[in-house]
Structures are given as structure tokens and as C-alpha cells.
Structure 1
Amino acid sequence: MNKSTLLCTIKSLRLFSSSVNAQSKNPGKYCLDLVRHNDYENYLCTLLLPKNLIPAAIAIRAFNVEIALVQDQSQQETIKEMRYHFWNDTLAKIYSDNPPEAPVPLELHRILKTQNLSKRYFQRLLDARWKKWKSGMFLNLSDVEKYSEETVSPLYYLILEAKNLKDVHVDHVASHLGKAQGIVTLIRSIPYHAQKRVLVLPQDILMENSVSTESVFRGEASKNLSDVIFEVSSRAKQHLDKAKSLRGKINKDVSTIFLPASNVERYLDKLQKVDFNIYSPELAKKENMLPAKLLIDKLFKKW
């Protein structure tokens, strides 16, 4: 690293540190705002949880947002790497009763005083994104499934721990829903990542359907690309259906925890209606009635 790059890196990290320190006076509100601005659909679902579960769920999702944003906060690989190391060290400090003076670590530390949340699930969230950043691409659909489970299912496991619930059937629902939601999240992110020349589709399926990486980056809709999206989204649907099939084996009291499944199902239905054209304007339209729809889903215990 040359001197200029080093100085730029140090300056960026100082600005980052100053920003989080300025927000640390009200960690709970910071976490709430962070999730609302960056993970709106899950934010709405979280607000519909039992009141005593909301603070922990918001803190858990805020941690996930922070580490997910690492790659978007800077184009410099050195800064990305330092931030991942920052969060790795931060996680260790939180569980060593010595959290940094930053809002998300402080809020998580506060939650841990009353609720037993396993460090391994937070570590899994962080490690999965770190590995993806280092590898750069998914070779096949199995890689997509694994990444999806490792970046979504631990969130459900942690929220279930906050509820002090341990049940093998519930864990199975969390595993399958995590895969379904993770895959759908990747599909939804394709137009955004294409602008940054980041590929989130599996290489083997692209090659089988003669879809070039460049055409994805250029945002070119095609029948072949739709076939790729169909195949990937079908795997998400399989996991969603499996999660739905297990609902009868779990207590209805935990159904609200899995309410994000409604958003997954709703998006897959919309994707089918546009013939799996990921660049269709219909998919980008804001759903103004979403809060009401989720409330209805909760009241009728759809999940």
C-alpha cells in the first residue's frame, strides 16, 4: 500500500468512527433507523413481533445491515478489509463485555445482558459475507443456497433464541425460509449489483443458458436470462414450499417471526407475472399497502 492510499484509508476510517460515535448517545434509535432505511420490509415485519421481542430483533437486524453495507461504503479493497476486521474484533469485544462506543455494538451488548444470544450465529453472518467478498462469485446454485442460508437463517435462529425457544421443527422452518429469502434477496439485487459490475447469479446456469456476464451488467433483458432467473427462483420456491409444509408442526406463537415469508412469496408471484424479467419496471414499484398486507397476514396467522 502506498502512502497516499494509506492516508486516504486512515482518513476514511476516522470519518466512519466519528460518525458512529456521534450516534452512540441513543443506540436503540440508531438501530431502528438503520434497519428502517436499509431493510424496510424486514423492519415492518419486526414491528409486528411481540413488543418484548422487538428491541432484540432490531439489534440483530441492525448488526446484519452494518456488515452487509461494508461493501457499499467504499470502493477501496483495503478499507473494506479493515471494516470486516473491525466488525470481527467488535463481535469479540461485545461478548467480552467491552463493546466499542458505537451504537450497534452498544445496543447488542445491552440486549445480551438480559437475553442469551449465541455468538456463533453473528459470526456466521459475518464470515459468510467475508467469504463471498473474497471469492467474488457463485459457481453454482448450491453456492447460492449455502450463502443464502448462512446470511439469513442465523437471523431467525437469533430471534428464536431471544424468544427462548428451542425446537427442531422451528429450526427446520428457519433453515428453509432462510434459503428462500436469501435467494430472493440476491435476485432482487441483480439490477443494483449490475451497475457495480458485481455478479450474484451462478456461473454454471448462466453458461448453460448462454447468458454472458457483460449482458447482465448492461441490464439486457432476454429470454435466456429469464430462463436463468426462473431456474434460480424455482429453487427459492422449493424452499419456501418446504417451510410452508412444516407450519403445522410449529407453535402458532412463533408464526410472526416468520412473517418475512409473506414478502418472499409476494415477490415470487410478481416475478412470475412478468415472465421472470428481472429488469421489469413492475418489480421496482413501491408497494404502498405493504404495511396493511403484513398486518392482515399476521392477524390471520398466514405464517
Structure 2
Amino acid sequence: MKDLTQVTSGLHACSSSYVNMVAVSAAISKTMMLLGNLQLKQIYAKSRKSVSKRTYATSRDQKPFMSSQYCLDVVKRYDYENFLACLLLPQHARSAALAVRAYNVELAQVHDTTTQPLMAKMRLQFWRETLDQVYQGSPPKQPVAVELQRAIAKHELSKRWLLSLIESREDHLENKQFTSMQDVEDYSEKSNSVLYYLILQILDIKNIHADHVGSHLGKAEGIVRLIRGVPHLGTKRIVLLPRDVMMQHKVSQEDVIRGSRDERMKSAVFDIACVAKTHIEHVKALMKDVPPAARIGLLPEVTISSYLGFLQKADFDVFDSSLQKRNRLLPLYLWWAKVRKT
């Protein structure tokens, strides 16, 4: 009720004929932000209520809980920006999209939480075997596997794309530095673009223009993830930035690990970010040919464009503390993009 009261007061402020234009503009902005956040809160609440009744328990001492609830929470915690985008999907597609995103989170965490390559390979092998069981209709009692089986049964999701997410992680278990930007784009296609192909399948979209947009969007997202991960990976003495770009700008691995903020480092980040920006420009140019029903599945373009804008404001200093903060206006931007595109 408090949110609704704020929205109502904002609308009254906008309609008053006695306020000046600056106040009107501020009231409109505040109202739109409240509307966007309010709608996402309402959708989230409905999602929690409408989760699957299918449950599982790992022991007699534990209370059973809902597998779809698990997927909802894990995506919110570890992939918050894409969690917001999933909330704006049609209700019939939301749980399946969250299952796919949760599956991706589980695979990403193999690399993030395992220090020994052998252990990581074993965990990825578990998911490879789990995927086989899921397609046989007998998933193990693991919440993501249970929800993934439901999504596959309902939407006939392509196994090769789900396998691609495993294979892309297997190829980079040893944190090998990318040799070139082309390598980064190839990896991003296998680890990010396929997520959009799957979401388009969930939306029952079969359109070559939508697939092209998904490809460019996934590559842009992969490049942005690479840039955003530089400070965190640097603390672990891991450098993944493409070797050809670093050599071109005379940036050493030690420069990255030390958190160098000089012009050489900024120039290297600028060149990498420009490739992501080019993919985003392709996304925007092709979007006019994409069916309206598919556009809602491609909303993360807003998130990527937003980060690239912040990176430019920080003069491509990837270690700027402002880039580590959560964008509080992102729910508004996503909601407004949905209104405009669908």
C-alpha cells in the first residue's frame, strides 16, 4: 500500500497545473521508477506463490521444499540482473526460463567454487550425466534437474544447447587466457548466446532474425562479463583478457593483477568494450525485424547497454568503484523497455 500511495501522489504531482516543468519532470521520473519497481515486486510475489508443487527432500530430517522456489532464489542471488529480466517474461515461460538460468548458475559455480581442475571435471560430468537422465524423463532429486526436466518436457528444449553450456565450461577449467578477441566471442557464443536460443524456444519463437539478435546479445554479454570480472579475478592472480589486445597496448598480466589504472589499461579495456558495443548496435539494428513476442526474451540488452554506459563514464577504468555498485534504476529501465518493445 505504501508503494501505491507513493505512485498516486507522484501522479497527482504530475497533473498539477501549478508546479513548474522541473518539478513535473522529477515527479514523472519518480513515478515511473516506483511503477517499475512495484510491478516487479508484484510479479516476484506471484512467482513465489505460483511455484510448482513438486517437492523433494534429501533426508528424513529435512522438510521438503519446492524445486521451482529453489531456482527462483538461486537466480535472484547469483544472477540478479537476469533474474529481473526473467520476472518480466510471460507467466507461461517464466518458470522454464528460471530453470535454464539456474542450470547456468550451477555450471558457473563449478568454476567459481572448485580450485582443483579434476574436481571441477567430476562436477561437470555429474551435470552431463544428469542431463542424460533428464532427457530420459528420470531426473535425480536435485531441484534444478527437476525443474529442467519440466521445462524440457513442456518446451522441447534443444539438448545440444544445454550441452554447450557444459562444454564451454570444460574448455576453460584451467583459466587459460584468451589468445584473441575472436576466442572471447567464440566462447561467449557457446556460454551465453545459447541461453537466448533456449529462452526463444521457451517463448515458442522460430525466427532467424531473433536468433541473430540472440547471438549478438550473447556475445556482448560474454564480453561484458569478462570486463566486469577483471577486478575479482585479479585478486586470484587470474587474467583472462585477450592476449592480443594486451600486447597491442603493452599491458602485462602483472598490470592487471595490481589493478593498474593507467592509460594503457584503459585503452585495452576500451578496445574490448568497443567489440561489445558493436554487437549491441547490431542488436538494436536487427530488433525491428524481430517479432514483438520475442523481444521480451531479449531484454538483457538493456542491462548490457547500461553497464557499457557506466564504463564510458568511468573513462574505461575497470577498477572504478562505481562499476561495482548495483544499478538501482535497472528495474525501471527493464520495465520501460518491456512497455516500449511489446
Do they fold alike, i.e. is TM over 0.5? Answer: yes
Identity of aligned residues (%): 40
Structure 1 moving runs of 4+ over 2 Å: 21-25
Larger radius of gyration: 2
Residues 168-247 of structure 1 correspond to what in structure 2 (within 5 A)? 168-247=208-287
The separation in 1 between residues aligned to 2:175 and 2:98, in whole angstroms, is 30
Match of 1:34 among 55, 74, 98: 74
State the Cα distance separating 1:300 from its structure 2 match.
Answer: 1.9
- Map of 1:293 onto structure 2: 333
- Map of 1:103 onto structure 2: 143
Q: TM-score, normalised by structure 2?
A: 0.80
Query: What is the number of residues matched between the two proteins?
Result: 285
Match of 1:161 among 190, 194, 201: 201
State the Cα distance separating 1:140 from its structure 2 match.
Answer: 0.5
Match of 2:319 among 253, 276, 279: 279
Q: TM-score, normalised by structure 1?
A: 0.90
**Are residue 65 (structure 1) and residue 114 (structure 2) matched?**
no
The separation in 1 between residues aligned to 2:185 and 2:116, in whole angstroms, is 28
State the Cα distance separating 1:50 from its structure 2 match.
Answer: 0.8
**Are the aligned partners of 1:211 and 1:225 in contact in 2 as well (CA < 8 Å)?**
yes
Q: What residue identity is the alignment partner of 2:193?
A: S
**Are the aligned partners of 1:48 and 1:256 in contact in 2 as well (CA < 8 Å)?**
yes
State the Cα distance separating 1:23 from its structure 2 match.
Answer: 8.9
State the Cα distance separating 1:134 from its structure 2 match.
Answer: 4.2
- Map of 1:149 onto structure 2: 189
- Of stretches 289-298 and 170-179 in structure 1, the one that deviates more from structure 2 is 289-298
Q: Which runs of 5+ in 2 are unaligned?
A: 1-56
Q: What residue identity is the alignment partner of 2:330?
A: L
State the Cα distance separating 1:135 from its structure 2 match.
Answer: 6.3
- Map of 2:43 onto structure 1: none
**Are the aligned partners of 1:25 and 1:103 in contact in 2 as well (CA < 8 Å)?**
no
The separation in 1 between residues aligned to 2:122 and 2:297, in whole angstroms, is 33
The separation in 2 between residues aligned to 1:71 and 1:196, in whole angstroms, is 13
Q: For 1:101-150, what per-residue CA distance to the aligned partner results, in whole angstroms no more than 9, with x for missing partners?
A: 11100111122222210000000111011102246120000000111111
State the Cα distance separating 1:25 from its structure 2 match.
Answer: 3.5
The separation in 2 between residues aligned to 1:67 and 1:22, in whole angstroms, is 25
Q: For 1:165-186, what per-residue CA distance to the aligned partner results, in whole angstroms no more than 9, with x for missing partners?
A: 1111111111111111111111
State the Cα distance separating 1:207 from its structure 2 match.
Answer: 1.3
Judged with a 3 Å threshold, the aligned counterparts in structure 2 of structure 1 residues 89 and 24 are, in CA distance, closer, same or farther, namely farther
- When the two chains are superposed, the root-mean-square deviation of aligned CA atoms in Å is 1.9
2:155 aligns to what SS in structure 1? coil
Q: For 1:258-293, what per-residue CA distance to the aligned partner results, in whole angstroms no more than 9, with x for missing partners?
A: 110001111111111111000011211222222122
The separation in 2 between residues aligned to 1:125 and 1:97, in whole angstroms, is 20
1:46 aligns to what SS in structure 2? helix
Q: What residue identity is the alignment partner of 2:276?
A: A
The separation in 2 between residues aligned to 1:228 and 1:205, in whole angstroms, is 6
Judged with a 3 Å threshold, the aligned counterparts in structure 2 of structure 1 residues 222 and 24 are, in CA distance, closer, same or farther, namely farther
Residues 10-49 of structure 1 correspond to what in structure 2 (within 5 A)? 25-49=65-89
The separation in 1 between residues aligned to 2:117 and 2:276, in whole angstroms, is 31
Judged with a 3 Å threshold, the aligned counterparts in structure 2 of structure 1 residues 230 and 107 are, in CA distance, closer, same or farther, namely same
- Of stretches 131-140 and 37-46 in structure 1, the one that deviates more from structure 2 is 131-140
Q: Which runs of 5+ in 1 are unaligned?
A: 1-16
